[in-house]
Structures are given as C-alpha cells and as structure tokens.
Structure 1
Amino acid sequence: MQEDFLHYVWKFKKYAFAKAHTTSNLPITLVQVGHHNTLAGPDFFNAKLHIADQLWAGNVEIHLKSSDWYAHRHEEDPAYENVILHVVWEHDVDVFRKDNTPIPTLELKHFVSKEALHNYQELFANQKSKWINCEEDLAQVPSYTQENWLERLYFERLSRKTEHIKTILESLNNDWEATLFTMLARNFGTKVNGASFESIAQSLNFSIVRKCANEPFRLEALLFGLGGLLPEDTTDSYALQLETEYEFLKHKHNLNNGGVMPVQFFKLRPDNFPTIRLSQLAQLYFTHSYLFQKLMTTSSVKEIYELFAVQASPYFDTHFSFGTQQKKRAKKLTKSFIDLIIINTIIPLRFYYAQHQGKDENELILEMIQSIKPEQNTIIKKFNTLRPKATNAQETQALIELKANYCDPNRCLQCGIGNWLLGRN
C-alpha cells in the first residue's frame, strides 16, 4: 500500500467518516479536510474537525504506520507542532506533542470502504506485467472524464515547458525575439542536433543575427561557421565563399565557437541534415523580420504555415551537404516539420508570453493545437490500442504527459483517470 492511497481516502472521504473515531474511542466529526500540501510539511493544511465536543483547526499528517512519525523525525520539526489529527492505516505507537499530550489518531483500516480498497488493489496488481496500471480498464473510463483530464494535462505540459523558456528569456535579458531564435534553433535541430543548434544560437548576440538576416548568404555563413560545418579542404566554390564570409564575420564580431557542441549527421535522413536545417533557418529570418511579433499575433495555424513557407538556399536544391551533388529538388519545410515547430516552440512561447502580458489565450491555444494532426510514436500507438484513437495533437501531447509523469511513476492517485477507477462501484 502507498501513502498516497491514504491521501486519496482522506481527501475524497472514501471512508465511513460518520462512524470514525480516534484510537482512544472519541468520535470524530469532519468539517473540512484541509488543503492538500504536496511540498514539505504536514500533508493537509487548515483542516477543521470536532473530536468529541471540541472543535479543532490545524493540520493533518498521514502515514502508513503511527511509528512513521518518529521514523521521519517529525517530533524534531516545528512545522508539525500544529497537527490536530494523525491519520494512519495501522496504529502501532502513540505520538505525543511537546507538552506530552497525545496527538489524536484515526486508524483508517477500520473505516475504508471495501470498494475503494478493492479498486485500489486491482489497479496496482501485477504492475510488472503491465504497460500502464489501468490498461485493462482504461476503455471503461467515460470519454468526458478522459477529455477533461487530457485538456488539463496539456496545459500542465505547457506550464512545465515554460520553465525552460523562462530560463532562456532571463539569460537573454528579456529579449523575446532572441528567445524565439534560440528555441527555433533547438527545434530545427530536432532530437539529434537540438542541443548543438541551441549552443550555436547561444554563442552569439542576437543583434548580429538581425544584421546578417538582410542577406541570407551572410547568415548561412555565420551559422555554418559557428557550427563547424564548413569543410577545411574543399574545391566547392559555395563552401569556399561561405568560409571567406565567416572569417570576415568572425573577426568583425569577435566570434568564438568554443562552447558550441558538435553537430551530427549520423542516423539522420538527408532532409534533416544540419546543413539543410540551418539553411532553412537562415532563409526564415531573411524572409521575416520581427518574426516574434508576427507569431504572437497570428490567429490560426494556417497563418503560421504561411510564415514558415520557406526553403533552403538554391545551392541546396542540388546538395544535402557540401561537395556532393544530387538530383535537383527544393528543400522546403514540410507541413509535418512545421507542426513540430508549432507544438514545441510557438505554442509554448505564446502561452508563456500571454501569461507575461496578463492575458488568457487558452481558448485560442486549444483551437490551434487541436487543428494539428495527432503525432505518431510508440506511446501514442500503444494508447490507441487501449482507448479511442487520438484525433489531434492536443490529445497526443497530453497522452505523452500522462505516460511520462503519471503512469510511469505510478501516480495513479493524482490522476483524473485513476481517481475515476478508484471511485467506481
């Protein structure tokens, strides 16, 4: 049994509270369960209850055994001096305050409903053989329960992503355009080169990007040079021109790529080669000045597709990397790639920017993310066998959040779906 189960039982009153009494046989009348505290300190703040004829207001601490009070050294912590009730599954020792009066104890095992206990045991049974604990019962959960929980999880995921945005923004002296550039660079690099591309963006002042963006060749030279992508021994005329331009920029702006992480070609499809992606990024900033402001005022995903309708420079129509010529084909940003940029960069940044401006754009954000096709990966494919198939990117993002931060760490008791399964008759 997990202590979280007892939190659930207390919070949602899944016990015979009308019959509850302390271990010294004094009746307990619950007035208010209190505020659930997930940080340090007692588990529930500001609870209210009657013990016999006395009204108590204070905190509630929950343990599997009474002796856990001493195992956790709460008797030494002043934060626990205002505990008015000790809620345990099994009472094995009395607990005392500093004035030697006993803290009233409620032993829950005598009052928990058989249904709640059965549902809990069923949910956590055979964990090692399951992909997720509720895989056998997920299809039984009403669609509205799942939809409401997945919407909440999506915004929980967005909130978590804003922590990284906040860090970048602070490091760039609250320059939103520079923050966008850094985030776009990371996501243009995808999983393989994301960290490398971000380190390229962080290695130069964004004011240099603004100046070079008037000429895509110059911006390409800057990005390729910092990324260490310009070949040393080559007869390729375009690469040689880029090298000459980069050397000029390097001395002019006192550039140093010592902190830039190496880029990788290994295991990448040619369309994802760092040469192609950096050229596309350069073309994007050549095509659009004040890109951040444009993205923060769009009202639909369609407008974003139009803004990102760019392709790598003409040299890469016949090349994927320097030197080796290929059949001619324009290297445009695909709709599926732009979708990833919208999901991982534009919407999280817009969500945080709206908060920063004191605005609520949640409805618009939902419209945007729900208009994007569902992602396809192993997690989504497995969920699609257990529940109705995800129909848009909001659902898939929420399901990824669900798997990573609730299913994998067994946080079923903090999950809306888990709570429904525990509460069913």
Structure 2
Amino acid sequence: MREDFLHYVWQHQYFDKADLRTAGGEEIQVLRPGYRNADAGPDFLNARLRLGEVEWNGAVEIHLRASDWVRHSHQTDPKYDQVILHVVGSHDADVARTNGSLIPALALQPRLSPELLARYRALMEAPPTAPLPCAPLLSLVPEITKTMMVERALLERVGRKADTLMALHQHLGQDWEATAYHALMAAFGFQKNSEPLARLAKAVPLAVLRRHRHNQRQVEALLFGQAGFLADNEETVGDDYIQDLKQEYEFLRHKYQLGASALLAHEWNYLRLRPANFPPVRLGQLVGLLHARPALFDALLTAQSVAALREFFRAPGPAYWRMHFRPGRPGKVPALGQGSIDLLITNVVVPLRVAYAHHLDQPALVESSVGLLGGLPAEHNQYTDRYQTLGFAHRTAAESQGLLALHTGYCAPRRCLHCAIGSRLVQQAPPTS
C-alpha cells in the first residue's frame, strides 16, 4: 500500500465510518475532510471535525505508519502544529506537536473493505510488462471517462509547456517577440539540436537581428557565423559563397562584439540524423522564416487556422541552403515538411498562445488555441499506438498529446489514483458505512 492510497481514501471517505473513534477511543465525526495541499505542510487543509463534544477546524496529516511523523521530523516543524487529526494506515506510536500536545490518530487500515483493497492492488500489482496497469480492466470504464481523462491530460501538458514559456517570457524582460524567437529557435532543433539552437538564440540577440531582418544575407551571416558553420575546412575553402558570407559575418561580429558567444562546429549533433535534418539545413530554414516574417509573435497569435499557420512556416530559405546539406557539400534539400511544421505548431505555437492567454486571463484564447490541435493529424509512436490498440481514440494531435500526457503523467509512474480511469476502477461500488 502507498501513502497516496490513504490520501485517496480519506479525500473520498471510502472507509467504514461505523463507531468511528481515535486510537485513544474518542468519537470522531468528519464534517469536512479538507482540501488537498499542493505546497509544503500538512496533506489536507481546512478540515472540520467533531472530536467528542468539541468541533475542530484545522489540518489533517496522513502517513502509512504513525511513527512516520517523527521520521519526517514533523514534531519540530511549526507548520504541523495546525494538525487536528493524524490519519494513518497503522497506529504504532503516539505523536505530538512542537509544544508537546498529543495529536489524535485514526487508523484506517482496519476500516478498509477487502473489495476496495483488491481493486487497488489489481492496479498497483500489474506486471511491468503490462501495456497499462489498468489494461485488463478498461472494459469496465465508460468511454466518457476515458475521453475526459485524455482531455484533462492534454490541458495539463499544454499548461506545463505554457508555464515554461511564461518563465522564458519573464527572463526576457516580458518581451513576447523575443519569447517567440527563442522558442522557435530551440524548436527547430527537433530534440537532437534543440540545446545548441537555444544557445544560438542567445548568441544572436533579437535586438541585433531586428536591425538586419530586411537583409537576408546579413541574417544568414549572423546566424551561420555565430553557429560556427563558416569556419574554413577542406570543403569550404574553395566555396566562394561561404567565403563571401564569412566576410560579411566578420564585419558584423566585430560591429556587435559577438565573437565570445559563438558556438563551435563540433557542438552540433549529426549522429543518426537524415541529411534533411542536418543543423545547417534547419538553420537555413530559420533564416528564411526570420527574414520573411519580421513580426513573429503577432503572426503566430493572430493566425486563425491550421492552414494559415502552415503557410507562415513555408518561407523559403536562401537558395544555397536549398542546395547544400552542409557548407561546401552540395545536395538537393527538401523544404520544411508538413510533418515538421505540424510539430512546430503543436510544441511552440499552441503553448505560446496559451501562455499569452494566461497572461491576459483570456479563457477563450486558451480554448481556441488548444482547439488548433484538433485540426492536426495524430502523431504515432510506441506510446500513442499502445493506447490506440487498447481502444483509445487517436485521430488528431489533440488526442496524441493527451495520450502522451496520460503516459508520462499517470500510467508510467503508476499514479492511477490521480487518474479518472484508475479512480473509477478503484471506486466501483464504493463501500458504505
């Protein structure tokens, strides 16, 4: 049994309340179990109980064993002086507040029904090889419960990404255009090169880039030079285009004193990448985008459809980078594909719009932004396909993102009691007092 199971049981009052008494024999009446505390301190706040003839308002702390109170050093922490009831699986010790006063305890394990425990253990003891802890029991869960849980997980996932962008927005002096620039730069790395591209965004400040956005060649020189792609080697020494770009970069580097922040060529990842994903290819596509779309954030915020956003990303890069995979190495390079564009919409545009909506407290913008995911095709990977095999709907990117969030936030860490699906299975025919 895990402690979160006792949290669940107490929150929903799924235990036998007949002749409910403390370990010391005092009668208990639960008037309000309290509200889960997500911060430091007791587990449930604002509980209301009647102990004997006296009504108490305060906090409830929960442990598997009463002695965990001392093991966690609560007896010396004033935050726990507000606890009016210590709810435990088993009562193996009396515990006290910092002033030495004893705290009443309620042992729950003897009051749990065998059926409830059996349903809980069926989830918790599912073998690691099971596709999901609840896989054998999913037929017992109504479709509406599964759908609502995937939608909830989707909103949580988008919200976490939006929170990350909000933190970036604060770090960048509350500049939404700079936030869009940094977010897009990192996203164009498509995981393998996200980190060096994020550093490149710092190495070429937006304030500098803004002065040259009208000149694609200068944007190209700034980004490729600071990325370390214009260094001389056996492939570039005879390439007139690269040598000319290098000359432009040297002028701009000196003008803005950028050299100290430049990356080196070996810092980029090529291993197991198709040539179409090579960093210079992606950087060439970014040059086209930054040159053609001088107001990134406004364009991403005001686009009303997936089609408009896809068109936003179809800005052609410099001709050289449409014919070279690497400096000095020719080859026909495909344009940024729709699959890649859709990933950018999913991972940057939607969270960016949601972050802005939260900033302005505009729920309608949150809804319309998340709604864009419903117009994108589903992503397929080992996790989403597993849920699809088990009968979960998987037609759009909204469902893909929800299923990924369900996997990472609930199924993989076995947080079944926090999931509407697992909770439904555990509470089938909940016990009565």
Relative to the length of structure 1, the TM-score reads 0.94
Q: Which letter does structure 2 place at the counterpart of 1:142?
A: P
Q: How far is the alpha carbon of 1:96 from its aligned partner?
A: 3.6
Change (3 A) 1:143 1:291: same
Is the Cα–Cα contact under 8 Å of residues 213 and 282 in structure 1 kept in the other structure?
A: no
Aligned partners of 2:422, 2:351: CA distance in 1, in Å?
27
Structure 2 residue matching 1:57: 3-state secondary structure? strand
1:267 equivalent in structure 2:
272
1:249 equivalent in structure 2:
252
Residues 51-97 of structure 1: CA distance to partner in whole angstroms, max 9, x if unpaired?
23221111111111112122222221211222111111111222344
Structure 2 residue matching 1:163: 3-state secondary structure? helix
1:69 equivalent in structure 2:
69
Is the Cα–Cα contact under 8 Å of residues 296 and 350 in structure 1 kept in the other structure?
A: yes
Q: Which moved more, 1:91-100 or 1:66-75?
A: 91-100
Q: How far is the alpha carbon of 1:131 from its aligned partner?
A: 4.2
Aligned partners of 2:99, 2:330: CA distance in 1, in Å?
85
Change (3 A) 1:172 1:98: closer
Structure 1 residue matching 2:87: 3-state secondary structure? strand
Change (3 A) 1:332 1:31: same
Change (3 A) 1:163 1:260: farther
1:200 equivalent in structure 2:
200
Within the candidate set 400, 403, 410, 2:404 is matched to 400
Is the Cα–Cα contact under 8 Å of residues 75 and 97 in structure 1 kept in the other structure?
A: yes
Is the Cα–Cα contact under 8 Å of residues 21 and 28 in structure 2 kept in the other structure?
A: yes
Q: Which moved more, 1:249-258 or 1:368-377?
A: 249-258
Change (3 A) 1:313 1:13: same
1:132 equivalent in structure 2:
132
Q: How far is the alpha carbon of 1:139 from its aligned partner?
A: 4.5
Change (3 A) 1:106 1:323: same
Q: How far is the alpha carbon of 1:389 from its aligned partner?
A: 4.1
Q: Which letter does structure 2 place at the counterpart of 1:229?
A: F
Aligned partners of 2:323, 2:79: CA distance in 1, in Å?
69
Within the candidate set 314, 317, 331, 1:312 is matched to 317
Residues 251-297 of structure 1: CA distance to partner in whole angstroms, max 9, x if unpaired?
11111254636212222111111111111111112112212111111
Within the candidate set 228, 235, 240, 2:238 is matched to 235
Residues 7-62 of structure 1: CA distance to partner in whole angstroms, max 9, x if unpaired?
00000111122442222333322110101113221111110111232211111111
**Unaligned regions of 5+ residues in structure 2, if any?**
none
Change (3 A) 1:187 1:97: closer
Is the Cα–Cα contact under 8 Å of residues 276 and 312 in structure 1 kept in the other structure?
A: no
Aligned partners of 2:60, 2:123: CA distance in 1, in Å?
26
Q: Which letter does structure 2 place at the counterpart of 1:381?
A: D
Aligned partners of 2:154, 2:260: CA distance in 1, in Å?
37
Aligned partners of 1:291, 1:81: CA distance in 2, in Å?
52
Structure 1 residue matching 2:89: 3-state secondary structure? strand
Q: How far is the alpha carbon of 1:304 from its aligned partner?
A: 0.5
Aligned partners of 2:294, 2:330: CA distance in 1, in Å?
32
Residues 103-160 of structure 1: CA distance to partner in whole angstroms, max 9, x if unpaired?
2221112222232211111111144343432232234322211221222222211222
Structure 1 residue matching 2:61: 3-state secondary structure? strand
Q: How far is the alpha carbon of 1:250 from its aligned partner?
A: 0.8
Is the Cα–Cα contact under 8 Å of residues 42 and 80 in structure 1 kept in the other structure?
A: yes
The yes-or-no answer on 1:210 pairing with 2:215 is: no
Relative to the length of structure 2, the TM-score reads 0.92
Aligned partners of 1:319, 1:197: CA distance in 2, in Å?
19
Change (3 A) 1:416 1:260: farther
Mapping for residues 354-365 of structure 1, pairs under 5 Å = 354-360=357-363, 361-365=365-369
The yes-or-no answer on 1:31 pairing with 2:31 is: yes
Structure 2 residue matching 1:136: 3-state secondary structure? helix
Q: Which letter does structure 1 place at the counterpart of 2:323?
A: T
Is the Cα–Cα contact under 8 Å of residues 20 and 111 in structure 1 kept in the other structure?
A: no
Aligned partners of 1:100, 1:274: CA distance in 2, in Å?
64
Is the Cα–Cα contact under 8 Å of residues 145 and 420 in structure 2 kept in the other structure?
A: yes
Aligned partners of 2:250, 2:102: CA distance in 1, in Å?
77
2:423 equivalent in structure 1:
419
Structure 1 residue matching 2:423: 3-state secondary structure? helix
Change (3 A) 1:181 1:98: closer
The yes-or-no answer on 1:188 pairing with 2:192 is: no
Q: Which moved more, 1:310-319 or 1:185-194?
A: 310-319
**Unaligned regions of 5+ residues in structure 1, if any?**
none
Mapping for residues 155-166 of structure 1, pairs under 5 Å = 155-166=155-166
Q: How far is the alpha carbon of 1:365 from its aligned partner?
A: 1.9
